[in-house]
């Protein structure tokens, strides 16, 4: 496959779009006879079959078994989302349900996200998730260091609950007991009992200046400390509509469904998947099949959008379903909810005003 869709003419794009939308609706392979009933495709059955064969050879379609119609491949879905999909126009009923959420005046972000999750699951008929990063109140109360060899040492971190975490850190420069004793003193004097948002660039630079010889290890150590304080398991993930997955034949395999359910219940991998995504991406992010990284989600699609307040990510709203997803509707739903929650948080508007509704 050449990729990017540059090899597709308008006729191939039209046929690919029709196949994807038909497969999303019906859940079955799509054949040329079905497409001849599409008024927008004024082509013979033979011509359509030839075009479908070419789309398959280019990697946009797959044939599940001999003499069957075609289904979209992962690449086909990706091209559809990037280039063919029309923006979904929400119905008045759907908008009314979203605005009813706004009028409920749920001030707390966690309660708001919980309600938004139930709403998104109801509107899309897929499983919805909401993520709220735990406010970082965790601190490390004591640091210890242990020299392992001249280029490797262990950093021991003890938090306020007495939990102990250890990380091995490699140094390009040679280190000794004296250097580590100095490092330990600096960490306990300047970093201990500080939240992650209190560990600023200026503080790190100050430590580096005062450290003198061996200052090269400071950035690696501080990075490790911040990663430990901000680990994704500290977040909270809420779900709604998990039962919707059972309505789709893609999840009929009991073993695969159990594995996917395990990922959702464990939460940690989903939290990490979202937290590792592009922080600069403001719009919906779409992970199709193997793009999810998680093996358990190879037959699933995840659409999510981060919610920001004053430039800081305070949560995310998302949808999980089969690769055969109504992308246009899901993306519009996620985008609408996330944007309006962000608008409400970033302004002095009341919730109804943020959602564009009158108070009365």
The tens digit of pLDDT for each residue in 225-279 reads 887 776 544 467 889 999 999 899 988 888 888 889 888 888 878 887 887 776 5
Q: Tokens standing for 95? A: 């908008």
Q: Which of 45, 63, 84 is the last residue of a domain?
A: 84
Tell me the helix, strand and coil percentages in the chain, rounded to 5: 50, 20, 30
Its domain, for residue 301, covers 92-135+234-354
Q: Are 151 and 107 found together in one domain?
A: no
Report percent pLDDT > 90 for the chain.
32
Most confidently predicted of 93-107, 133-147, 198-212: 198-212
Q: Domain containing 114 — which CATH number?
A: 3.30.450.40
**Whole-number average pLDDT of the chain:** 82
- Establish if 360 belongs to a structural domain: no
Percentage of the chain lying above the pLDDT 70 cut: 84
pLDDT, position 241 = 92
Asked if residue 343 and residue 238 are part of one domain, the reply reads: yes
**Angle subtended at Cα 109 by Cα 346 and Cα 139, rounded to the nearest 5 degrees:** 100
- 111 in the same domain as 23: no
Please tell me whether residues 177 and 129 are part of one structural domain.
no
Cβ contact 110:237 at 8 Å: no
Q: pLDDT tens for residues 183-233?
A: 999 899 989 988 877 888 888 888 888 777 666 788 888 888 887 776 544
Same domain as 188, residue 48: no
Same domain for 275 and 174: no
- Asked whether 328 and 85 are in contact (CB, 8 A), the reply is yes
Q: Give the 3-state secondary structure of residue 200.
A: coil
Q: Are residues 122 and 199 in the same domain?
A: no
What's the rounded mean pLDDT across residues 104-111?
Answer: 56
Residue 175 lies in a domain: yes
Give the pLDDT confidence of 317-332 residue by residue, as tens digits: 999 999 999 999 999 9
Examine residue 169 and state whether it is found in any structural domain, yes or no.
yes
**Residue 245 has what DSSP assignment?**
G
The bridge status of strand 300-309 relative to strand 127-132 is unpaired
Give the integer Cα–Cα distance in Å for 39 and 202.
64
Q: Which helix (H) or strand (E) holds 148?
A: strand 140-149
Question: Which token pair is 297?
Answer: 């989600």
| CA–CA dist 52, 247 (Å, integer) | 29
More confident residue, 36 or 110: 36
Q: Dihedral sign, CA of 244, 245, 250, 255? A: negative
Average pLDDT over residues 7-27: 92
Long-range pairs for 134-138 at CB < 8 Å and ≥24 separation?
Answer: 134/234, 134/235, 134/236, 136/195, 136/196, 136/197, 136/229, 136/230, 136/234, 137/195, 138/195, 138/196, 138/229, 138/234
- The answer to whether residue 3 is domain-embedded is no
The model's confidence at residue 340, banded by pLDDT at 50, 70 and 90, is: confident
Q: Token match 């091995």: residue? A: 168
State whether 20 and 38 are in the same domain.
yes
Dist. CA 60–CA 135, nearest whole Å: 43
pTM: 0.64
250, 324 contact by CB (below 8 A):
yes
Look at residue 359 and tell me if it is in a domain. no
């Amino acid at each position: 496959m050449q990729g990017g869709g540059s090899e597709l003419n308008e006729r191939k794009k039209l046929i690919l779009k029709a196949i994807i939308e038909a497969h999303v609706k019906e859940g079955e392979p799509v054949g040329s006879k079905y497409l001849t009933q599409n008024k927008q495709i004024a082509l013979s059955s033979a011509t359509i079959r030839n075009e479908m064969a070419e789309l398959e050879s280019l990697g946009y379609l797959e044939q599940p078994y001999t003499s069957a119609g075609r289904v979209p491949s992962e690449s086909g879905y990706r091209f559809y989302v990037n280039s063919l999909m029309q923006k979904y126009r929400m119905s008045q009923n759907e908008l009314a349900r979203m605005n009813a959420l706004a009028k409920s005046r749920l001030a707390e972000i966690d309660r708001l996200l919980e309600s938004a999750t139930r709403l998104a699951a109801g509107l899309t008929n897929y499983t919805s998730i909401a993520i709220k990063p735990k406010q970082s109140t965790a601190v490390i109360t004591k640091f210890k260091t242990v020299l392992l060899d001249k280029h490797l040492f262990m950093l021991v971190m003890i938090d306020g609950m007495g939990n102990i975490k250890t990380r091995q850190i490699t140094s390009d420069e040679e280190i000794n007991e004296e250097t580590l004793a100095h490092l330990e003193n600096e960490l306990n004097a300047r970093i201990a009992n500080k939240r992650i948002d209190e560990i600023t660039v200026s503080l790190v630079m100050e430590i580096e200046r005062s450290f003198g010889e061996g200052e090269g290890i400071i950035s690696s150590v501080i990075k490790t400390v911040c990663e430990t304080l901000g680990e994704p398991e500290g977040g909270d993930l809420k779900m709604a509509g998990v039962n919707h997955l059972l309505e789709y034949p893609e999840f009929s395999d009991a073993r695969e469904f159990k594995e996917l359910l395990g990922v959702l219940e464990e939460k940690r991998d989903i939290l990490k998947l979202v937290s590792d995504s592009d922080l600069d991406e403001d719009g919906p992010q779409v992970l199709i099949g193997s793009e999810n990284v998680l093996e358990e989600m190879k037959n699933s699609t995840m659409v999510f959008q981060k919610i920001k307040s004053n430039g800081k990510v305070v949560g995310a709203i998302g949808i999980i379903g089969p690769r055969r997803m109504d992308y246009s509707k899901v993306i519009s739903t996620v985008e609408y909810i996330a944007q309006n929650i962000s608008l409400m948080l970033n302004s002095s508007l009341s919730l109804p005003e943020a959602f564009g509704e009158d108070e009365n």
